[in-house]
Amino acid sequence: MKILVTGGLGFIGSHTVVELQNSGYEVVIIDDCSNSSENVLEGIFAITGKRPVYEKIDLREKEKVGDFFTRHADIMGTIHFAASKAVGESVEKPLHYYENNLSTLIYLLKEITAKKRQSFIFSSSCTVYGQADKMPITEDAPVKMAESPYGNTKQIGEEIIKDTCKVNSGLQAISLRYFNPMGAHPSAEIGELPIGVPQNLVPFITQTGIGLREQLSVFGDDYPTPDGTCIRDYIHVVDLAKAHVVALERLLKGENPENYEVYNVGTGQGSSVLEVIASFERVSGKKLNYSIVERRPGDITTAYADTKKANEVLGWKACSTLDQAMKSAWDWEQKIRN
């Protein structure tokens, strides 16, 4: 069965491609390599022994999207990762985020809904909750005004999909609201490799640890948390990738009673920035050079998941600890730099 993975050369996308291929699916990747590299294909092949079909397409180009689906009429499901994803950058470049994250989703859905039956998984985010009132965050928590344009694109994206499902009974969709992915494949063949300065915490930590960055900036230590730094739910990327496979199988089997569902994907445990730094120091045996700086616009104080719904309905559960995820990230960093 053929599955399209947009953004399939990216961090989460590439790990999901591995899990899909290991589960017997035929994968076609679309990626414009704006924040990834075609070299990732070699890593996927090294792990799975299979080379996925790859097409370099900018999904903002509507005609090319239409042409792709004409040539790949037998695609049965789509997992949509392709999007700009940095909270801080989105505050600085809001129009880029709205164009890149929403027009691409619309163009995909227009092609997909032309088919009789399609399964669609959307890469959503815990940012849709804003600063939630209660922890852990359940799927029933109110979707508050977004703290950043990035978060807003995920909120709007979910609304677009839900509205589309209402008028297209053949479209079966799931939004996976993930928390903070980290780590790398245990083979160290693929991992997180941002182009330019990392926008996420863990790759900045490992790049600082390896000497590529001089110092890590911790954005604020005056939040109302035990150590004053922000708390997030850090999930191993392989655990996250596996969640996409089980969600896809639920859709393909027609097991979802409604056209549209949402699931939190996290560990259910919150870790502060300083606790993540401490994890790195444990697994690497190195002291990290970091300093406390002012808060960053768009950041919320605390977010960690209630994963009961995904555990019970999807039969999925995160298995890796923070230290295991950090160790895999550090192994990957050492391999690519050395």
Residues with active-site annotation: 150
Please list, in sequence order, all residues whose beta carbon lies within 8 angstroms of the beta carbon of residue 243, skipping any fewer than 6 positions away. 176, 178, 263, 265, 310, 314, 316
User: Of 312, 218, 216, 334, nearest to 264 (Cα)?
Assistant: 312
- Its sign, for the CA torsion 200, 203, 209, 214, is negative
Which among 104, 114, 5 is positioned nearest to 55, based on CA atoms?
A: 5
User: What is the C-alpha separation between 221 and 242, in angstroms, rounded?
Assistant: 34
**126 and 263 in contact (C-beta within 8 Å)?**
no
CA separation, residue 323 to residues 264, 267, 309 (Å) = 22, 13, 25
Tokens of 64: 């090319």
Q: How many other C-beta atoms are found inside a 10 Å radius of the C-beta of residue 336? A: 13
| Vertex 272: Cα angle to 177 and 328 (nearest 5) | 70
Closest CA to 306 of 262, 264, 246: 264
119: Cβ contacts below 8 Å, ≥ 6 apart: 76, 77, 78, 172, 173, 248, 251, 252
Residue where the block lists tokens 């999901």: 16
Sheet-wide strand order for 53-56? 53-56, 26-31, 2-6, 75-80, 118-125, 171-178, 260-265
